[in-house]
Amino acid sequence: MKKYTVAVVGATGAVGQEMIRVLESRQFPIERLVPLASEKSAGTTVEFGGKHITVEKLTHSSFADNHIEIALFSAGGDVSAEFAPSAAKAGAVAIDNTSHFRMHESVPLVVPEVNPEDIKLWKTTGIIANPNCSTIQMVIALKPLHDEWEIERIDVSTYQAVSGAGARAMQELMDQMQSIFTFNFDAFEPKKFPHKIALNAIPHIDKFEANGYTKEELKMVNESQKIMHHKMQISATCVRVPVLRGHSEAITVRFKNEASALKAVELLQKARDVVIMDDNSKNHYPTPLASTDKDEVFVGRIRADIYDKKTLHFWVVADNLRVGAATNAVRIAEKWIETEGAK
Ligand SMILES: NC(=O)c1ccc[n+]([C@@H]2O[C@H](COP(=O)([O-])OP(=O)(O)OC[C@H]3O[C@@H](n4cnc5c(N)ncnc54)[C@H](OP(=O)(O)O)[C@@H]3O)[C@@H](O)[C@H]2O)c1
């Protein structure tokens, strides 16, 4: 089997570190791993395959110089905007975790469980975009239900972990929690969030737009429609909560046709990378802690609407750093190898 030279851009970040762990745990066919980051982390090391590999400074020639074939980007939108085209120019496929290219018409936006066929469109730009973390787990759970009953409208409220805002945001929550234990709650001023996040819930992720929605909420709207190739109505309210890892979502979905909770369980049981946790008598439902370090989307609290036979409600949880970022990117790379890699 052919092995690939793989770059991880942003290798020292929350998502980049997880990417390296996922590549290793899935036994991705790697010939050589090239970790890239900013000047600040150049010279530090990351662990892969029992070895310490030195992080290199990202430059425009990093990809050609290292003969990179697959480049996984998670170093922020500006870095992707500037450097993903260099990776593509050097002949690599760039799989980008940031929001920069997601809505570009000529860049495919892919969740392998939902629209793997879009990967073939990578050739136009050399870039494949990885959706927003909240979108990925939602569309994985919705796809089998959409295929059965056709979605008309989705209303979703998210409860998003701080790791969605990066490694420093995780530290900010830990520092604030520590300050509470030492009765010194005023010691840590918020930096990554608009308010203190410890013991709090903040209904504000990313910037506000003129229509009153945040960019994060509009990402869920636009990206879901692009991935599912379906113009359903969507409204999202995205909330940051003091959880380290694992985004939760309360989803209400109205279909074109009559739906049933029992049939939904049956459909989701057969779906790839979905696990049902739904036994109220045993307090068995998904939680962020139970989803940590897992590669599946967990679904529970599946119930019919009290008034409308076309509406279902459920609760979806997934590890945002894995399912919502690293694992989805690596699954895209695996699918790319399967369908395009050898051509
Ligand atoms: N966290 C999530 O759940 C999630 C999910 C989906 C997508 N994303 C997206 O993925 C990206 C990274 O997120 P994160 O949470 O991993 O952030 P993070 O923990 O802050 O890590 C950022 C990474 O980017 C590197 N970097 C920053 N500026 C750079 C530059 N000029 N050149 C090269 N490398 C640079 C950093 O390297 P240094 O160590 O050198 O600073 C670090 O490795 C963001 O665009 C984010 O929106 C995150």
What is the residue whose two structure tokens read 């830990």?
174
- What is the C-alpha to C-alpha distance for residues 85 and 177, in angstroms, rounded to an integer? 41
The answer to whether the CB of 320 falls within 8 A of the CB of 243 is no
* pLDDT at residue 189, rounded to an integer: 82
Higher pLDDT, 186 or 197: 197
Q: Looking at residue 45, what DSSP letter applies?
A: E
Q: Which of 133, 230, 284, 313 is catalytic?
A: 133
Strand pairing report for 247-255 and 311-318? antiparallel
Single pTM value for the model: 0.96
Distance 145 CA to ligand 1 centre (A): 33
| Known active-site residue 238 | no
The answer to whether the CB of 108 falls within 8 A of the CB of 130 is no
Q: Which atom of ligand 1 is nearest to the CA of 57?
A: 33
Say yes or no to pLDDT of 188 above 80. Answer: no
The answer to whether the CB of 249 falls within 8 A of the CB of 241 is no
Q: CA–CA distance from 46 to each of 10, 34, 50, 136, 280 (Å)? A: 11, 10, 10, 27, 43
* pLDDT at residue 343, rounded to an integer: 53
- What is the C-alpha to C-alpha distance for residues 16 and 247, in angstroms, rounded to an integer? 18
* pLDDT at residue 342, rounded to an integer: 59
Phi, psi (rounded to 5 degrees) for 242: -80, 65
* Among 9, 22, 34, 38, residue to substitute to test ligand 1 (most atoms within 8 Å of Cβ): 38
Using alpha carbons, select from 143, 132, 66 the residue that is nearest to residue 97: 132
Say yes or no to pLDDT of 185 above 90. Answer: no
Mean pLDDT of 287-295: 97
- What is the C-alpha to C-alpha distance for residues 46 and 320, in angstroms, rounded to an integer? 21
Say yes or no to pLDDT of 297 above 90. Answer: yes
Query: Which three-class secondary structure string do you get for 117-183?
Result: HHHHHHHHCCEEECCCHHHHHHHHHHHHHHHHHCEEEEEEEEEECHHHHCHHHHHHHHHHHHHHHCC
Distance 110 CA to ligand 1 centre (A): 20
Strand pairing report for 30-37 and 56-57? parallel
Say yes or no to pLDDT of 244 above 90. Answer: yes
Q: Which of 100, 238, 247, 284 is catalytic?
A: 247
Average pLDDT of the chain is: 96
Q: In what order do the strands lie in the sheet with 93-96?
A: 56-57, 30-37, 4-9, 70-73, 93-96, 127-129
Mean pLDDT of 108-133: 97
Q: For atom 44 of ligand 1, which residue has the closest CA?
A: 76
Q: Which atom of ligand 1 is nearest to the CA of 58?
A: 33
| pLDDT tens figures, 1-57 | 899 999 999 999 999 999 999 999 999 999 999 999 999 999 999 999 999 999 999
- What is the C-alpha to C-alpha distance for residues 196 and 182, in angstroms, rounded to an integer? 16
The answer to whether the CB of 103 falls within 8 A of the CB of 224 is no
What is the residue whose two structure tokens read 């894995």?
322
| Known active-site residue 133 | yes
Instruction: Look at 70-84, 147-161, 181-195, 199-213 and tell me which has the smallest mean pLDDT.
Output: 181-195
The H-assigned helical ranges of 4-76 are: 14-25, 62-65
**Ligand 1-lining residues (CB < 6 angstroms):** 10-16, 37-38, 40-41, 58, 74-77, 79, 97-98, 133, 163-164, 166-168, 320-321, 324-325
What is the residue whose two structure tokens read 């074939």?
69
Q: Which atom of ligand 1 is nearest to the CA of 166?
A: 15
Distance 81 CA to ligand 1 centre (A): 13
